[in-house]
Amino acid sequence: MLLKSGKVITKLLIQTRKMHLLHDKTYINGQWISAASNKIFEVLNPADGSIISTVPDMDIEDTQKAIESAANAFETWKNTTPKERSYFLRNWYNLLIKNRDNLAKIITLESGKPLPEALGEVNYGNSFVEWFSEQARNVRGEIIQSSTTTKKILVEHYPIGVAALITPWNFPHAMITRKVSPALAVGCTCVIKPAEDTPLTALALLELAEEAGIPKGVLNIVTSGRKNAPKIGKLLCESSLVAGISFTGSTQVGKILYKQCSAGVKRLGLELGGNAPFIVYNTADVDKAVEGAVTAKFRNCGQACVAANRFLVQEGVYDSFVGKLVDRVKDLKIGCGFDSGVRIGPLINRAQFEKISNLVGDAVAKGAKVVIGGIPAPKIGELFYEPTVVVDVNKNTMLFSEEIFGPVIGIVKFKTEEESLDIANGTDRGLAAYFYSEDIKQIFRVNRNLEAGMIGVNEGLISTVEAPFGGIKESGIGREGSHRGVEEYTYIKYTCIGNLE
């Protein structure tokens, strides 16, 4: 299997290098450029450690140029009509559709996710460009009745200015399009800082944006390795030319950015970490719950902010659920994302691999039992970890209290509905939650009491462009997607026209 995968990857690397979408330079002010220092860093394939490409390792000097480029472009872009912005976004969407197969290959190469999942991400990410191309012409103000006959009250939306977008590695296409599209739709310009693990997808997206005719300076991208990332983030937060920050990533980093933005009281959108409960009640359809669990947990090898994290199963269906779940997990093929039938790819990097190993080790040391998996899969590759189910998880374990971001299910048995809600809500995170029940009264009762920004009821896949995406508590501020997505990039101007006698 390893030899076959190696040959497949080598062949795809050769093919990909011939793609016009694969760049070794970054894009600022309509030009493909190197870092001012000429430094580069390597982008690795997590499936086998091979070097896919190199990209510029930029610093705050390069970032300042990107910010100034976006600020200059804003003076023109803000005066374009909604119809014009809609046209550019639609052109971009059409090119994204045309190139979706190549985009998916790049995603699989640099993130490791199975190719069918990469295609799913491309379709999902493209949907935001389509959606906001339509929303551009539907941002509406108000005329409000005044308390006097001599005044007229007008309320309008205006673009905030330059938006700095800091995106994660786990969905390198969708996290960019979900932020860029509403920003462009309302007249903002952008500086994009993609994750150091997956910059190639971001560069491919900007290649297609350029082909779509989006004017120079409207979109700019800053690539950097881990060493320069904190300084770049600080500059984006503190620059007086940047009007707003949108960040998707860990709560820890989000808090740092939150503090740094306070100096300029910037518009801030944060989509941070989760600790999603997945509750199975006695009233559930167990077969549906098992399928939902596999979807909610193992997509992208568990590396998703909305992935189910704490599995709570009521004692009446506990044995049935665990037995069927283990049988289902046995069928999950692990391997290179380009191999047919693979459901579980590699973890993104060594740090993530070691984290998963430590979480499972800590749980077992505190009395938990591994039913299936629980070990690395070195015969496939250094960053592969077998899909795992752990039972009898102690609530004091790291596996239960921390966001896992890996292919591990930890299960806790509970007795009553009240107990399940106490456990589910006993966290400072509140991004997503899932529960299964066929009792309609219980569905509305539990839904009302769960503390999360997004809830899946008898459903393990909840993300869609039409719905507002975001959490509560320390899982973030603001919403992405839906008609509300544009609100993060506009400010409201109230105008009072008086003396209308």
State the catalytic residues.
Answer: 271, 305
What are 114's two structure tokens?
């199975």
Q: Is the dihedral of CA 41, 172, 92, 188 positive or negative?
A: negative
Half-sphere exposure of 354 (CA within 13 A, CB side): 3
- Closest Cα partner for 187 from 163, 221, 222, 155? 163
The one-letter amino acid at 58: M
Hey, is 246 helix, strand or coil? strand
Are 278 and 310 within 8 A, CB to CB?
A: yes
> In a 10 Å sphere around its CB, with 0-12 CB exposed, 13-18 middle and 19+ buried, how is residue 79 labelled?
exposed
Nearest-angstrom CA–CA distance, 483 and 391? 41
What are 375's two structure tokens?
């070990």
What are 77's two structure tokens?
């872009």
- Closest Cα partner for 478 from 222, 204, 200, 269? 269
Which residues, other chains included, contact 113 with Cβ-Cβ below 8 Å and sequence gap of 6+? 107, 121, 300, 301, 337, 345
- Closest Cα partner for 295 from 308, 277, 279, 305? 308
Q: In this structure, what are the phi and psi dihedrals at residue 174, rounded to the nearest 5 degrees?
A: -65, -35
Nearest-angstrom CA–CA distance, 298 and 294? 6
Nearest-angstrom CA–CA distance, 462 and 390? 25
Nearest-angstrom CA–CA distance, 479 and 313? 30
Residue listed under structure tokens 């800590």: 362
